[in-house]
Amino acid sequence: MRTVYALFVGIDTYPDSPLRGCVNDVAAAEDWLRRQPGLQPDVLRLRNAEATRDALVTGIDRHLGSAGPGDTALLWYSGHGSERRTEDPLASTGHTQALVCHDSLTEGGQPLLQDTDLGDMLDGIARRGVHVVAVLDCCHSGGATRRGATARGVEWRPWWHTPGARGLRGTAPEAAPEHVLLAACRPHESAYEEVIGGESRGWWSHSLLHALDRLGPRSTYGRVHALAEERVRDSTHLQRPELRGPATRRFLHGEETGDSPYLLRHTARGWEVNCGAAHGLRSPGAEFTLLTPSGPDARGPRVVAVHEVGPETSLARTVGWQPSTEDVEAVHPVTPSALAFPPAAVTVTGRPGDVRLVEDAVGASPMLAAGGPGLPLLVETGGGWARVSGGAGHPVAPLPLRSPADAARVADCCAHIARWHHLLDLANPDASLSSLIRVSVEPLVGDLRHTGEGEIVCSYTPDGREPQVRVRIHNLGEGELWCVLLYLADNYECSPALFEGDFVAPGHPGVARRGEPVWLRLPPGRPVSPGAHTRDVLKLVVAQNELNTEPFRLPAWSVDGWRHHRGTDIAGPLRLTPPRSTRLPGGPADRVGLWGTASVVIRTEVP
């Protein structure tokens, strides 16, 4: 049984700017936690005057810090938040945010709990093998009210002194575990409370607990957030909740579920899939198949067809089935099943028997086609082996070809390369946003030079040390842009871990890995010897609103791990449901909306 060390903080009775629903929020959250099967709660409550800054810091350090590997640490905070401008180079929005403790509003009282301090404390617990979750129902500035709602934010007070920019927390080349954040609103927005069902409640806490009850104990962060966010947005357009963390992991448990990165939900505008033009979706007509079980009267798989493509999401209609009330109130994982992405064109050569074996496997994947304008891939067969070529990455080792299972592995390799190229080739014909962003790379360890072809060459040091660089994201426009930085390695891996998604304001560059060095190295298995090199790409994807980042996760191609890709925490849509009928891609692309990309090619070499 998993132990959940929970710290519930609810503050209504501030010395001024009092609130009414925060204690109700945390009481309801504790009640929900105690009703969950398979969880053993260990609870600490801080309510009203108990919730001083010292008590909150101590509660995080000693109570949540008591959790060990395999446990969960949960911080649920309902109260005021605040923000102010900062010159901290790591604050990409140009503002610092903080929790307002009970003793923060008395002049000369204790300072508030700043975002960087809170994040460092929670991440420190996560690095010990604990699954750490923070639910914050507060805003970071005062704001107008609507329909009698009260903003959970106060103006920054002059006695709240904050330290300067924090230093680097280490130089480890691998990403350390971090906490999951479920926030009531964007950094620049306010969160609101109102009388709901006869008592004062925060819209975020109320909606989140409703989603958890509706979806059940095995739901993922992505599904819970999608349902709760839509409930908040349907109630008030003044706040938009955010999820920072792995969407396909199980809520409060942390294990990977193998869920699809694409989700379908019902909104005020109709059915919406969190896949848009910025993910490579080309035009209306794409189909997604629901992966949730259908009712007893269903006739085959349930499909939705996209009728409007947006930058971040797309609207769809059901095809041949009638949604139930339960369908409308749920969130459904879906998989692309027809026309979602342009298929790669695979040519197979060799003995007729080998060719038929591979072509049958290729025909079962909508990521692949026997011809057409897509990425040209070549499969050469002979002697019990298949050799796949045509991708821009490092050559793939030959694959055995003696059975239909071997042929399926070859097709999976081709589909993997095709998906990697979809991410590599992402580009918006409308350059209105692409022209406003750029990526800069600064040397820290090893030499760096620019070539006439536009590549950045980073070299190992003479004594064999790996090069290190600092990577910054620049917004040259006039308003905030939401940015994610993809690292596309030449072993056909893609990861957004360098900068997983945040708003970047003009004049406040986003910094990859929170300011820590980015280590460049040869992939495992390649000898570090003179002349060895790898060619990778940093691709910045920007939009005006948040993007679903799960489709940007793709593991390196592995012969041994190909059957398990869907079960890893960086799974992408590698094995897709075949379309119900044969279709050829084509037709004009729909208007793609406001999103953009910028790319930097990095060659890492051993001199």
Q: What is the pLDDT of residues 9-60, one digit of tens each?
A: 999 999 888 999 999 999 999 999 999 999 999 999 999 999 999 999 999 9
371 band by pLDDT with thresholds 50, 70 and 90: confident
Q: What is the mean pLDDT of residues 233-255?
A: 90
For residues 441 and 456, membership in a common domain is answered with: yes
| Res 593: pLDDT | 64
- Asked if residue 169 has pLDDT above 70, the reply is no
**Which of the 8 DSSP states describes residue 407?**
H
Q: How many helices (H) and strands (E) does the chain have?
A: 8, 33
Residue 153: the pLDDT is 52
Residues 461 and 543 in one domain: yes
**pTM attached to this predicted model:** 0.80
28 and 77 within one domain: yes
Residue 217 predicted with pLDDT over 50: yes
Cα gap 520→534, rounded to integer Å: 9
Taking 3-state DSSP, the helix, strand and coil percentages for the chain, each rounded to the nearest 5, stand at 20, 30, 45
> What is the arithmetic mean of pLDDT over 441-466?
94
Asked, for residue 515, whether it belongs to a domain, the answer is yes
Same domain, 283 and 235: no
Mean pLDDT score across all residues of the chain: 85
Whether residue 130 sits in one domain with residue 219: yes
Triad 11, 16, 20: Cα angle to 5°: 40
State the Cα–Cα distance between residues 279 and 552, nearest whole angstrom: 8
Nearest by Cα to 43 from 3, 1, 5, 2: 5
Q: How far apart are CA 521 and CA 527, in angstroms?
A: 11
Question: Between 66 and 98, whose confidence is greater?
Answer: 66
Query: Is position 164 within any domain?
Result: no
Tens digits of per-residue pLDDT, 530-571? 999 999 999 999 999 999 999 999 999 987 754 433 332 222
Same domain, 326 and 405: no
| 3-class SS of residue 489 | strand
* Segments forming the whole domain that contains residue 368: 344-424
pLDDT more than 70, % of the chain: 87
What is the per-residue pLDDT for 342?
78
240: in domain: yes
CA–CA separation, 339 and 241 (whole Å): 31
In this predicted structure, what is the pLDDT of residue 584? 31
Rounded Cα gap, residues 211 and 198, in angstroms: 19
| Together in a domain, 375 and 480 | no
Which range, 95-104, 279-288, 384-393, 424-433, has the best average confidence (pLDDT)? 384-393
In a domain, 448, yes or no: yes
Which of 10, 76, 73, 78 lies closest to 42 in space, CA to CA? 73
Percent of the chain scoring above 90 in pLDDT: 65
Residue 466 has pLDDT above 90, yes or no: yes
Name the band, by pLDDT with cuts 50, 70 and 90, for residue 297.
low
**Does a structural domain hold residue 455?**
yes
pLDDT confidence of residue 178: 85
Separation CA 78–CA 276 (nearest Å): 33
Predicted confidence band at 516 (pLDDT cuts at 50, 70, 90)? Answer: confident
Chosen domain end from 238, 257, 276: 257
Q: Which residues pair with 471 in a beta bridge?
A: 441
Domain end, chosen from 424, 443, 464, is at 424
Do 110 and 32 share a structural domain? yes
Whether residue 178 is contained in a domain is answered as yes
Q: Do 413 and 369 share a domain, yes or no?
A: yes
Tell me: do 395 and 483 sit in the same domain: no
Position 423 pLDDT exceeds 90 = yes
Q: Where are the alpha helices (DSSP H) in 403-561?
A: 404-424
Number of domains within the chain: 4
The answer to the question of residue 479 being in a domain is yes
281 vs 592, residue with greater confidence: 281
Is the domain of 413 the same as that of 281? no
Out of 160-174, 182-196, 465-479, pick the least confident: 160-174
Model confidence at 472: pLDDT above 90: yes
CA-CA distance, 521 to 466, in Å (whole number)? Answer: 6
CATH number at residue 188: 3.40.50.1460
Q: Out of 223, 257, 291, pick the residue that ends a domain.
A: 257
Which residue type occupies 576?
Answer: L
Asked if residue 168 belongs to a domain, the reply is no
Residues 204-218 have a mean pLDDT of 95
Give the contacts of 163 (CB within 8 A, at least 6 positions apart): 114
Whether residues 321 and 288 share a domain: the answer is: yes
Task: Please state the rounded mean pLDDT for residues 470-482.
Answer: 94
What pLDDT band is residue 156 in, cutting at 50, 70 and 90?
A: very low
Q: Does the structure show a pLDDT above 80 at 512? A: yes
Whether the pLDDT of residue 434 is over 50: the answer is yes
Asked if residue 581 has pLDDT above 50, the reply is: no
Which pLDDT score, from 0 to 100, does residue 589 have?
Answer: 41
Query: Most confidently modeled of 335-349, 453-467, 573-587?
Result: 453-467
